[in-house]
């Protein structure tokens, strides 16, 4: 028996640039109808010219696939309403990074003075542009996301008309915050539904499972699974698939990121089947995102999967994927509309 998914969406994706973009972008474009593209290049995407140029490079890299890149800007507190209005046809969201907290985020927000942030966030509220946030403090690594919940609460309270997306949540505290504020939403990754910190560092260190935010405790994973498996309307899939060259992962300065793009849909299907919630996967993988991002337009694509083993390649060019060299239980049967 096959399983069919309509217009899958990845609401948090890293495509990098240059040779890496050419390697990884087609792997997402093959199975996803569209994806929200992160802006943390070097330098980060913060002007209209940079955004349009990057979009053109993505479209060139994904040529031949039915795929729409949804573009974002790197948050700055000085964006004006006029500037953002000029980009409304091209911009789906703005991504806020705390300064230095993750890959290429050195130019992020160094403090969360609400008055300093107000000009941009007020303009975003008026133009219905969502704010996507990497929600971590610079505290103890296991506590960083839970500590950031108070900042989410500050933002949600001061800007009640602003849609705020808590990106790649990993803790039960973030899950609990979802229902406390009408304007808080969240993305959840595949790898955080699968692993805990024990998988990363409980035995031999597993560099290809190291990411930020770091995987947490079993009770945190259970909280994520609960809202994903029940089809909670405020959560959606965002892979945070973050490719790095093999040498950057397998080194003493291990880069943070898990590369899941080539197998995300297959492993999500296997996971939802395992927990007898396959009827909720469509909402998690597409329907909820279309409601949260109400102005989004989606290319039509249908993905059919079957219970058939697939051997995950050891590498895609020089990038090692999740489950490299291992067998997963679901395969792509057919793609319509690509």
List residues with catalytic annotation. Answer: 240
The answer to whether the Cα torsion of 258, 239, 244, 299 is positive or negative is: positive
Which residues does 210 contact at the CB level (< 8 Å), separation at least 6?
200, 249, 254, 256, 257, 258
Please say whether the beta carbons of 8 and 301 come within 8 A: yes
For tokens 């913060």, the residue is 46
- Two tokens at 174? 């973030």
Q: Residues near 180 by Cβ (< 8 Å), separated by ≥ 6? A: 153
Q: Are 255 and 249 in contact (CB under 8 A)?
A: yes
- At 51, phi and psi to the nearest 5? -65, -45
Q: How far apart are CA 77 and CA 167, in angstroms?
A: 19
Round to whole Å and give the CA distance between 49 and 57: 12
CB 183 within 8 A of CB 162: yes
Q: Which has the closest alpha carbon to 170: 230, 215, 104?
A: 215
User: How many C-beta neighbours within 10 Å does residue 45 have?
Assistant: 22
The token pair that represents 264 in the structure block: 């995300």
Between CA 206 and CA 249 the distance in angstroms is 10
As a whole number of angstroms, the distance between CA 326 and CA 141 comes to 30
């Amino acid at each position: 028996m096959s399983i069919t998914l309509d217009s899958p969406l990845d609401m948090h994706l890293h495509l990098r640039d240059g040779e890496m973009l050419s390697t990884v972008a087609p792997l997402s474009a093959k199975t996803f109808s569209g994806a929200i593209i992160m802006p943390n290049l070097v330098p980060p995407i913060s002007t209209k010219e940079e955004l349009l140029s990057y979009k053109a490079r993505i479209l060139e890299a994904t040529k031949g696939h039915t795929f729409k890149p949804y573009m974002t800007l790197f948050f700055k507190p000085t964006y004006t309403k006029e500037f953002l209005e000029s980009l409304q046809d091209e911009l789906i969201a703005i991504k806020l990074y705390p300064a230095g907290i993750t890959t290429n985020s050195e130019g992020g927000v160094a403090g969360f003075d609400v008055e300093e942030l107000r000009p941009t966030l007020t303009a975003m509220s008026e133009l219905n542009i969502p704010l996507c946030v990497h929600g971590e403090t610079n505290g103890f690594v296991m506590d960083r996301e839970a500590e950031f919940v108070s900042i989410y609460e500050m933002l949600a309270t001061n800007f009640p008309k602003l849609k705020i997306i808590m990106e790649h949540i990993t803790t039960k505290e973030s899950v609990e915050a979802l229902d406390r504020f009408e304007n808080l939403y969240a993305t959840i990754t595949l790898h955080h539904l699968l692993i805990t910190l024990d998988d990363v560092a409980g035995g031999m260190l597993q560099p290809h499972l190291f990411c930020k935010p770091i995987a947490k405790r079993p009770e945190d994973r259970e909280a994520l699974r609960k809202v994903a498996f029940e089809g909670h309307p405020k959560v959606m899939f965002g892979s945070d698939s973050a490719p790095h060259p093999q040498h950057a992962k397998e080194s003493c300065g291990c880069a943070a990121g898990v590369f899941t793009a080539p197998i995300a849909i297959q492993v999500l299907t296997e996971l939802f089947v395992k927990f007898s919630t396959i009827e909720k996967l469509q909402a998690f993988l597409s329907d909820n995102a279309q409601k949260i991002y109400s102005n989004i337009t989606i290319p039509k694509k249908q993905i059919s999967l079957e219970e058939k083993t697939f051997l995950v390649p050891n590498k895609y060019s020089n990038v090692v994927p999740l489950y490299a060299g291992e067998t997963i239980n679901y395969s792509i049967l057919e793609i319509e509309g690509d």
